[in-house]
Amino acid sequence: MTVSTTTGQPTETRRIRVLLFSDDRTTRDAVRFAVGTRPAPDVEVEEWHEVATPTMVEMAVKDESNHYDVLVLDGEAQPYGGLGLCRQLKNELFECPPVLVLIGRREDGWLAAWSQADAVVTHPLDHTAVAEAVARLARS
């Protein structure tokens, strides 16, 4: 249990499972490092599930025995990036978890909007921005 900084009252810690997709191992490592185990005082990452292909993302989120609280998708993955994958998941899944998309350029923000992403962070990754985005999505 944690204590709210605004009310001083105890708050429940949200324990979350995160699916992380990137074809680049260094990007996956950077995201895990940025978020850590506690992206916010009230949010704890209980489990990371890392995948390197869009097919593995689809299999993981469509498997009814899995539940992910947040999806982090690399929009720069090749040959099929996280932006197209995000749009596909948002349109195919009845209750798609919130999605954070990592994009290469701030100018690609319109693509993130098209993909129906819930949050966007640009490369190079700002550790604070990534952690805040994951925490915010975990609370939504």
Please name every residue paired with 19 in a beta bridge, in sequence order, or none if there are none. Answer: 49, 71
Render pLDDT for 24-45 as a digit per residue (tens, 0 to 9). 999 999 999 999 999 999 999 9
Render pLDDT for 49-97 as a digit per residue (tens, 0 to 9). 999 999 999 999 999 888 999 999 999 999 889 999 999 999 999 999 9
Work out the angle at residue 17's Cα, subtended by the Cα atoms of residues 15 and 19, and round it to the nearest 5 degrees: 155
| 4 pLDDT higher than 70 | no
User: Which domains, ranges and CATH numbers included, belong to the chain?
Assistant: 14-139 (3.40.50.2300)
- Predicted TM-score (pTM) of this structure: 0.91
